[in-house]
Amino acid sequence: MEKALIALAAALAIGLSALATAWAQSRIGSAGAGTIAEKPELTATVIIMVAIPETMVILGFVVATMILYR
């Protein structure tokens, strides 16, 4: 039973952070597409803004790894 709860905690750490990242990137991506259409010189800034939420998944993976291999 303890191993199942540990696995569930690790799955939630990755799953919830992945869902939050997907939601954030969908909002940033649609706004970024409009921005690039109007001002193409801001392409690099939009790419950086889309990449920033990806750190949430990386941190979720780190937390899940820490939970599994404590």
Tens of pLDDT along the chain (70 residues) come to: 899 999 999 999 999 999 999 999 999 999 999 999 999 999 999 999 999 999 999 999 999 999 999 8
Paired tokens of 19: 């869902």
Quote the number of domains for the chain.
1
CA distance linking residue 26 with residue 48, whole number of Å: 14
CATH number of the domain within which 64 lies:
1.20.20.10
For residue 12, the enclosing domain spans 2-68
Q: Is 39 left (phi over 0), alpha (psi -120 to 50) or beta?
A: beta
